[in-house]
Structure 1
Amino acid sequence: MTLSLLFASLFVLMLLRVPIAFALGLSSVGYVLLAGLPPVVLMHNMINGMNSFPLLAIPFFILAGALMNAAGITSRIFGFARSLVGWTHGGLGHVNVGASVIFSGMSGAAVADAGGLGAIEIRAMREAGYDDDFSVGVTAASSTIGPIIPPSLPLVIYGVMASVSIGKLFVAGIIPGLLMAVSLMVMVWWYSSRRNYPRDVAFRLSNVWRTFVSAFLPLMTPVIIVGGIVSGAFTPTEAAVCAAAYALFLGTVVYRTVDLRSFVRVSMETIETTASVIMIVGAATVFAWILTSNQAAAHFAELLLGLTDNKYLILFLIMMVVLVVGMFMETIAAISILVPVLLPVSVQLGIDPIHLGIIVILNLMIGLLTPPVGMVLFVLSKVSDVPFEKCVTATLPFLIPLILVLILLTYVPAITLYLPDLLYGDH
């Protein structure tokens, strides 16, 4: 009964638009008081949840992405992507996806992609005569590639919660992220053929070389991060520090677009974002501890296995649960709550934790494109001056390729696990 009140209070607080960290915390406090537990368990579990070395990667990856935006690096990436794929029909749509793939190796967050590249991409597409619904839809969908291709803030949180290698998770996200990009480009081609969108620029090797030289140093960021982790030169947390230092070097020394004032502004934004993420992690850790202590994972497994013993059908049911949660809950909180419940069930069914991590994160990214939470849609609505409702309808068709990729990855785990098996061997 007390557990039912826990979920009921959380749901009511979310309906009242209480920030998710406070909604989780207040509902947990209510449970502890009703259950007659000492309040100190709240602080104990919250501190334990936040006291994790891998979580140090979060502020540095956030800082690296913010510095890249402040340094004007997003425009260099957009220019390089434009010279590569802008010559095709609907060229700027393909550029949109290509730029997101490149920028994903720097920011690790869908909202950062939508906010940083989104304004540049939508403005360029409007000037070229593209419809707003197409521009907003492809920008929203392509931003979800960011948390799949390394580095990835959600994968860091998942790695901490599931106690699995963050390096392996990063490597496992490369092929799925590229599959997402290819599927979205197919959708762009289909739209462009129907609406007769133009080619953006003529293909010239000289132009590709010029923009490549301009973007070369930023393009080295994912090489440094992934190469360093895979080679064992540094841990994911140390890779985050290196990425932030490299971004600072580019902004202050190479391009000289980041001065003291902009650095202070970026630092304050990073502190604010990090604080909100860590607060969510702490509150969600307490909530997850309550679920674990009440054997929620065992009850959930019993419920699923009572419905069917078919592994593939249970996978489908798990993905439906994650998708619904992702529609209503912020990504970090959803990971922190879902992992302690889903992981034991998945392991019992023989589902690899690395595989589970990728499909859970992709599922939650789709949740970012759906109301009522839909953070990416809120960001794009702001930067594009398009009403939120129109952003929702514009994005719906682009959910189709993402859902198809999710289904493929869910039922063909070899796609996700190929690179971790190849590079780490002991997986």
Structure 2
Amino acid sequence: MAKILNRLEKGICYAALGLLALIPVAEIIIRPFNGVIPASLAIMTHLFLVVGFFAAMIATKSKEHIFIAITQYIKNERLKNILAIGANMISAFVTTILVWDSISFIKYGQSGKRIGFIPDRVFSLVMPLGFAIIAIRFALQAPVKKFKWLPFASILLGTICALPAITKLLWGFDLPEPFLSWVNLSYDMAFDIKLPVILLLIVAALSGTPIFAVIGGIALIMLQSAGGEPDTAPLQIYSAFTDASDLIAIPLFTLTGFFLSESKAGERLVNTFKSLFSWIPGGMIIATVVICAFFTSFTGASGVTILALGGILYTILAEKSKYPERFSIGLLTSVGGIGLLFPPSLPIILVGSTTNSILYFMGLTIENNIIDFFLGAIIPGIIMVLAMIAFAIITSRKVKIPVEPFELKKAGAAIKGSALEILLPVILIGGYFSGILSLVQISAVSVIYVFIAEVLINRDIAIKKVPQVFFKAIPIIGGVLAILAMAKALSYSIIDSQVPEHFADWMQATISSKFVFLLLLNLALLVVGCLMDIFSAILVVLPLIVPLGYAYGIDPIHLGIIFITNLEVGFLTPPVGMNLFLASYRFKRPFVAVCRYVLPFLLIQLAIVLLITYVPWLSTFLPNLFN
């Protein structure tokens, strides 16, 4: 039975993700014949909802939800065990409340409209089902030895704290006494304990509790303390998936990145750039930076690039090209993230979507298309790439690197071998920036394209191995989408309580200079980049930053690029920069040694961040030109 349920769970998730890729491509094919797929957008957004929850369920099962990694510094096993139990119990508690709130939302918060021929309530059933399975899995995973019942007490407590939703399910809006008094008391208690609970959840986040559970817990306590209906959080979670269609590109581009990383595309690109540039002094440095930027732009995660390409690039740099180990590891670690500034970067999509949502919540008519954020990131991205190449070549001039003569035949063969990978960004960027294809269509094309290229043509991935590629991508997708959903509820609660406006007023009263604010923003975002992954930071921190940027007259596109570049550099900042740990793991070198290797490259990137911050023209020129 367990195997059947496991296959069913994966099958539904894979099928929904596959349909997300096939429907837009089918629309492109039938467009010249004036053909349309009825209700295609509504179908895709609700399939997106299904993918989000099933991927989150799988991420829970495989213990791959995103969390802050400070607990790795704790050496005491007993303390780590206690923290793990607490993290699982808090996660089970929060998701249990959301089970009951979601059922209430389905009963009272939906109109019963049809998505195609299926009622929307059928799709929405995935919410209570998903939260229930996630809660049970967290309880089962708690490393309890003696009191096996203890984790399940958090599910019981969550059910008790879901009293407003349960009573609403039983009696609707006319509650009998004494239940009405009890519900009012729960709202009063939520108001009284709001601050201690939020502080507790922040400590829990630092102790290893998954970010999505912490965000969801804070959203729930803020909404209940403000007297909100129990349906409010599920409504925001539902709308996070069904309203913002551009976000469908996130799982599709992630899947594209995993098809590329699991194939031999990296090796082919390395051979191509080596044949093209190895005759130039520093040619392999150019190749390394460009290839890393290419891969990161598709995966959206610099860590994946380090893990997927670190080995082969290190072999070429250190062993074949004879660059020093210190230099090779420092370069590979530091350039893992620069692709975040190039399309189809997932962080740029999230920054654009989140910024527009916050401006809308603030009642402002300012809205920039996602394409404006892509355009705004191009010049800063090119500057970052050129700076890293120039610095790397200058610092390596002391090392006499043998150059290889250029061989036209060898270069032609290498280009022919990697032609499909080289054409991919050309097709996608051309299709998107020309306006022929939408962002979702581009992401769908990318999945189908790499599937055909790597599975059917190059045959790097056997047909029977394709589900394994999905399986590796799904936990990443689930972790990101779980945070995205919870962050929408938290953003609503924060904006509804007018926290950003009050914070902006306080900042303006305290700091009058725009330039001082930007400097403090840089420092704060470096810290955030050290502690949080980029997706969590965008969805949690950006809603607080956007109103501040507006108050100081900073262009939203410029602010978004500042945000991404600072977080990118934060991944390299000791003592807890995520890429430092990944590089230590990948290259099997001590963490402190990796920090020393990265330091010169980190200083150059910090200088570029300051340049991007204080010269807004770099981020706004192309959007203004095209508009």
TM-score, normalised by the number of residues in structure 1: 0.91
| 8 Å CA contact retained: 2:522, 2:566 | yes
1:8 alignment partner in structure 2:
199
1:204 shift after superposition? 4.0
**Structure 1 gap segments, 5+ residues each:** none
2:537 alignment partner in structure 1:
334
Structure 1, residues 30-68: CA drift from partner, whole Å, max 9, x if none?
445555644432222222223321111011101111111
2:294 and 2:348 map into 1 onto residues whose CA distance is 18
| Cα distance, 1:302–1:213 mapped onto 2, change above 3 Å | same
| 8 Å CA contact retained: 2:211, 2:536 | yes
1:48 alignment partner in structure 2:
239
Map residues 119-138 of structure 1 onto 2, 5 A cutoff.
119-128=311-320, 129-138=322-331
2:194 and 2:623 map into 1 onto residues whose CA distance is 38
Percentage identity across paired residues of the two chains: 29
2:195 and 2:566 map into 1 onto residues whose CA distance is 26
- SS of corresponding position for 2:397: helix
2:307 and 2:269 map into 1 onto residues whose CA distance is 15
- Structure 1 letter corresponding to 2:517: I
1:186 alignment partner in structure 2:
390
1:349 and 1:2 map into 2 onto residues whose CA distance is 34
1:75 alignment partner in structure 2:
267
**Structure 2 gap segments, 5+ residues each:** 1-191, 357-367
- Structure 2 letter corresponding to 1:125: L
1:377 shift after superposition? 2.5
| 8 Å CA contact retained: 2:297, 2:340 | no
Structure 1, residues 280-312: CA drift from partner, whole Å, max 9, x if none?
111222222232222221122123212332222
Q: How many residues align?
A: 423
2:165 alignment partner in structure 1:
none
2:372 alignment partner in structure 1:
168
Q: Given the alignment of the two structures, is residue 156 of structure 1 paired with residue 359 of structure 2, yes or no? A: no
Structure 1, residues 298-353: CA drift from partner, whole Å, max 9, x if none?
12212321233222222222222222222211211111122222112212333221
| 8 Å CA contact retained: 2:384, 2:605 | yes
1:22 and 1:406 map into 2 onto residues whose CA distance is 32
- Structure 2 letter corresponding to 1:25: G
- Structure 1 letter corresponding to 2:307: G
| 8 Å CA contact retained: 1:58, 1:153 | yes
- 1:17 maps to which of 189, 198, 208: 208
Choose 103-112 or 30-39, whichever is displaced more. Answer: 30-39
| 8 Å CA contact retained: 2:454, 2:461 | yes
| 8 Å CA contact retained: 1:90, 1:197 | no
| 8 Å CA contact retained: 1:145, 1:180 | yes
| Cα distance, 1:12–1:310 mapped onto 2, change above 3 Å | same
Choose 29-38 or 237-246, whichever is displaced more. Answer: 29-38
Map residues 8-407 of structure 1 onto 2, 5 A cutoff.
8-32=199-223, 37-51=228-242, 52-128=244-320, 129-163=322-356, 164-194=368-398, 196-371=399-574, 373-407=576-610
CA RMSD of aligned residues (A): 2.3
2:575 and 2:220 map into 1 onto residues whose CA distance is 26
- SS of corresponding position for 1:145: helix
1:115 and 1:3 map into 2 onto residues whose CA distance is 41
| 8 Å CA contact retained: 1:70, 1:262 | no
1:253 shift after superposition? 2.4
1:25 and 1:84 map into 2 onto residues whose CA distance is 50
| 8 Å CA contact retained: 1:284, 1:336 | yes
2:425 and 2:273 map into 1 onto residues whose CA distance is 16
| Cα distance, 1:190–1:148 mapped onto 2, change above 3 Å | same
| Cα distance, 1:144–1:105 mapped onto 2, change above 3 Å | closer
2:622 alignment partner in structure 1:
419
1:90 shift after superposition? 4.6
1:6 and 1:86 map into 2 onto residues whose CA distance is 58
- SS of corresponding position for 1:146: helix
2:528 and 2:201 map into 1 onto residues whose CA distance is 13
| Cα distance, 1:136–1:56 mapped onto 2, change above 3 Å | same
1:100 and 1:303 map into 2 onto residues whose CA distance is 41
| Rg comparison, structure with higher value | 2
TM-score, normalised by the number of residues in structure 2: 0.63
| 8 Å CA contact retained: 2:331, 2:598 | yes
| Cα distance, 1:268–1:81 mapped onto 2, change above 3 Å | same
Structure 1, residues 149-175: CA drift from partner, whole Å, max 9, x if none?
111111111122112322222222222
2:230 and 2:599 map into 1 onto residues whose CA distance is 45
- Structure 1 letter corresponding to 2:290: G
2:523 and 2:348 map into 1 onto residues whose CA distance is 20
- SS of corresponding position for 1:351: coil
1:198 shift after superposition? 1.3
| 8 Å CA contact retained: 2:297, 2:341 | no
| Cα distance, 1:374–1:102 mapped onto 2, change above 3 Å | same
Choose 320-329 or 139-148, whichever is displaced more. Answer: 320-329
- SS of corresponding position for 2:582: helix
1:104 shift after superposition? 4.2
1:301 and 1:414 map into 2 onto residues whose CA distance is 24
1:4 shift after superposition? 4.5
- SS of corresponding position for 2:339: coil
Structure 1, residues 363-418: CA drift from partner, whole Å, max 9, x if none?
11112223455332333222222233332332222111211111111111222222
Choose 151-160 or 22-31, whichever is displaced more. Answer: 22-31
1:351 and 1:2 map into 2 onto residues whose CA distance is 36
1:189 shift after superposition? 1.8
| Cα distance, 1:294–1:5 mapped onto 2, change above 3 Å | farther
| 8 Å CA contact retained: 2:254, 2:298 | no
